Structures are given as structure tokens and as C-alpha cells.
Chains A and B, each alone.
Chain A
Amino acid sequence: MMWKPRDRAAALKPLVFLACLAPFAWLLWRLLNNDLGADPVAELEHRSGDWALRFLLITLAMTPLRRITGWVQWIRFRRMLGLFVFFYASLHLAVYLSLDLQGLWTQIFAEIIKRPYITVGFSAWLLLLPLTITSTKGMMRRLGRNWGRLHKLIYLIGVLAVLHFYWLVKKDVREPLIYAGVLAVLFALRLPWKRWLVAARPAAPPRT
């Protein structure tokens, strides 16, 4: 029997959930096998940060995917993906605080205030908090139209996260620029191109 698209999305959800956990499982496996390289703390920090940023971009890709493919069910993965952004970002922050700075609280506060890249990174994580808390159906209902407004914060978080990456590399900015590029494309896809094209059509090009 043929599944309805809705059912298909529901059936895929557990698989997507497991796929989202795979990077975490891989890190854990490498950790247990002593396979994180010479500087395991930096490795955990960098890889968890990578995945937080990747999941952020994947989450932001759901809306454009729905429009482009016409399959509306993409949107049903968005909340779960967004929660994984919070999961990996929190892992990233936890590794930084507990393993890298090891709870040297005076240094932690100094770093958050003094280092622009840490300031923006930490801000991005803080801004994820309200989005995570209001991700439930009940909260959606309660917040009504404001829910959508609040969740527009994800665009700002995306910019802060890319900036965080860009400012922390020493010289080779190629990788952060790739993330910046993908983010820019995801933003551009949200612009009302259709409306603009329609609006532009009647205006004949100026003759010289």
C-alpha cells in the first residue's frame, strides 16, 4: 500500500534522529578508543562546534527545500534538527568550559567579555536558549504569532556562529568562508525573488 507523505515523514523521523546522533556517537567512539589525536580537548571542541554550525545550516535549509521540492513534509524535521543545533552547541560550550578552561571561572568570565569571538559564540548559545525552551507544541500555541517572530532569532544566531568561527581561525579563513557562503545562499533563498521579478517586469529598460 502507498504511504501518504505525512506517514513517510513520520516513519523517517526516527532514522533522521539516529543520523543526527551519529556525529556524537563517532566522537564518543573516538574518545573511548583514544583516537582524538594529540590534542583531544581541541578536537572535541572543534568537532562539536562544526556540527552545531552544520545542523544550524541544515535546519535553515528545510524551508527552502519545501519550496523548491514541493514536498511540504521537510518542515516536520525542522524542530528536531533545531534541537540538535542546541545539543551540539551545548556540547561545544560544555567542552570549552569544563575541559578547556576547566572551570577557571575568573578566566572564563574574562574570556567571554574580552574576546570578541567568544563573546559572539556565547551570545549565539544564549540566544538558542529561548528557541529551545519554546520549541514545544504548547509553547507554540501559547505564543501564537509571536512564536514566529521569536524564532526569527535563528538568522541572527547563524550570523553570530559564522562570525565566531571566522574570528577564531588564525589565518586560513577558507573553511569559515564556506559556511558563510552557505548561510548567505540560505538567506538569499528566503528573499521574495518572485515578487521582485513580477514587479520588475513592467518596467521597461531605460532607452539611451
Chain B
Amino acid sequence: MLIKRPDDIATAEITDESIYLGRRRLLRTLGLAGSALLVGCSQNPGDVDAKVGTQADTDASLTLALARKTDYANGEAQTSFKDATHYNNYYEFGTDKSDPAQNSSKFQPKPWSVEIAGHAEVTGNFTLEDILKGQSIEERVYRMRCVEGWSMVIPWAGFSLADLLTRFKPTAQAKYVAFTTVNRPAQMPGLSYAALDWPYREGLRIDEAMNPLALLATGMYGRELPNQNGAPLRLVLPWKYGFKGIKSIVKIEFVERQPRTSWNDAAANEYGFYSNVNPEVDHPRWSQKTERRIGAGGGLFAPRIETKPFNGYAEQVASLYAGMDLRQNF
């Protein structure tokens, strides 16, 4: 049962049309239409395609000048750049945790565009430059808990997912957001094996997507995202298991029904749609009560740490799930 009505939230976010049109006019008058590509662009995708930022804009938007740095991990020691970039899952590059770093060098994250589709006033194809325009990139240090039972602390660079989504003006029918990863067999050798039903898909309820913690990352450790970590644009949802953080996003669709997601399709009894970190709900094949922090002091003998509900972010996100049976909706 959903206590919070996602459509209410979406409706509240929708700018009144007169204000919207007025702002458009104002911007045009001021000659700033270029910097408001997303806000002011038409609903016609073809029209949008033609609008590309200038080279100067492009360079400026991709350097990781960090607007601010916030530690959301309680001062816990950060995982080394080497470990965070050489030990991770990105099945499109292979199923071993060393595969992504090894097999992703051919991947071309530039140029990039993202298709915005579904129940929103603004849809179409947007270049990454369009998407990043006007966004200040901030650093957020988040804990990352993998469903396999290990965890890291990673300084991501990015911007709030809600900031981006509201710019497309989702309508009242937009109850969920569906994300799709790029599908490039020539550059992603893991795609030759159907470990999952490619392309990779993930989804969120719209109120989850609008939660301020949901981050669209373009970088980590103060630099652009390496290919193996989901360049050039990925989701980071620190209160959910890592696989919910879909990588190399090419499509964002506002949908009315709960979208299909890759791991849930592969094993619905093991990977729920929500997949919130929850020490009380075990994976059917292993416990989720504790985790091993990668690179923790003490090496081999570093103690396991207790996994916290919502990975320690209950204060920020627990209300999203008020009244829900989290054993049922795992």
C-alpha cells in the first residue's frame, strides 16, 4: 500500500503554465535562451535535437569544479580510488568484479545524449551538455552497500536527480521513473552473454526519485566518471543496494505503472523493486545483517560492520515507505 501519493508530489512540482511562458519570454528578452535550453525547449524532440551547446559550454560543464562538498557518511573513511574503480559490478563489461576496469577502455562516453520520454511536458533527446547546463556539480560522500554484502564510501560528484526531473515537468500520470543503460555490444563485451536481459533497466517511484538524496553522478573523487563506474551519467541511491544505481543512462521515462527492472526480472524472489538496504530482510541465499567494508583498516582482520536500515539514511528516506511492509516490498 502506498501511503504517499506520488502523483500529488509530481503535480505540486509542475510550474504553472503562465509562469513558465512568462519566464520563457523573459529569458528570450534577456538573450539568455541558450542557458535555459532545458527549461525553455519545446515538446518537439526534433526541435530539441538541433540545440547543442557551444564548445565553450561543453568544456565548462564537464570540468569538475565542485560547488560544495558534503559528507553524508558520518566521517567514515573513504574507499581508495583504486578499489572503487577496480572492484565493482558492471555486467555489461563482464561478471567478475575486476572485469569492468579491464574491459571498458573501448567504451566511448562522448558524445552522449539522453532520451526523455513518457508523461512529461518536456520530452525529447538531450545532449549531456544540455542536461548539465546550469547544474552546479557538487560532491557528496555516500556509503555504498552492495547486495552481495560488501560496502564502500565514495565521494561522488553530481547533482540532484529531482533538479533534473522537474525541468521536464512530469505530469500527474508520472508515478514512476524508468531508466535504461546504453546497449553497445561492440564496446561492451559483457553484453555477448545474457547474464541479464539487456539493456539494463532500473526504476524508482517518482517520490523516491524526487528525494534530495537521489544523485545523478557525472564524476567521483573529483574527476569525471571512469567508464567502468558508469560514465558519463549514472544514478547513485545511497539507501538502496548498489545495483539500483543504474550506469551510463541513455533513457529516462516517466511512466504510470511500476517499470520492469533487470535484477527483479532475473530473480524476483531475490531482488525486489525497492531493494532498500535492510539488515532485517536477508537475501534468500545470504544474510544482510552485516557487511565487509572494502579497504577497512585491519586488512584481513578488519571486523565486519553492522548494516543499518536504509544504509544509515533512514532519517532522510524512511518516510517514503511509511506504512509499507518492507518484508513484502523488499
Measuring CB to CB, which residues of chain A are less than 8 angstroms from any residue of chain B?
Answer: 31, 37-42, 44, 99-102, 104, 107, 110-111, 114-117, 167-168, 170-172, 174
Contact = CB atoms under 8 A, between A and B. Distances in A.
Interface residues of B, number: 29
Contact of A41 (B83, B91, B266, B292): B292
What is the interface of chain B mostly: helix, strand, loop, or mixed? Answer: loop
B290 interface: yes
Contacts of A42: 150, 292
A163 to B, nearest CB: 13
A102 B87 contact: no
Interface stretch (B28-36, B53-61, B104-112, B294-302): B294-302
A117 B270 CA distance: 15
23 contacts: A31-B300, A37-B86, A38-B86, A38-B97, A38-B294, A39-B292, A100-B292, A101-B304, A102-B303, A104-B290, A104-B304, A107-B287, A111-B287, A114-B282, A115-B286, A117-B285, A167-B285, A171-B91, A171-B266, A171-B267, A172-B91, A172-B193, A174-B193
A104 B287 CA distance: 13
Contacts, number: 60
Interface of B: 82-83, 86-87, 91, 95, 97-98, 148, 150, 193, 195-196, 266-267, 282, 285-287, 289-290, 292, 294-295, 299-301, 303-304
A39 B285 contact: no
A102 B304 contact: yes
Contact of B300 (A38, A99, A114, A172): A99
Contact of A37 (B87, B196, B266, B299): B87
Nearest to A95: B300
What is the interface of chain A mostly: helix, strand, loop, or mixed? Answer: helix
A206 to B, nearest CB: 42
B301 A99 contact: yes
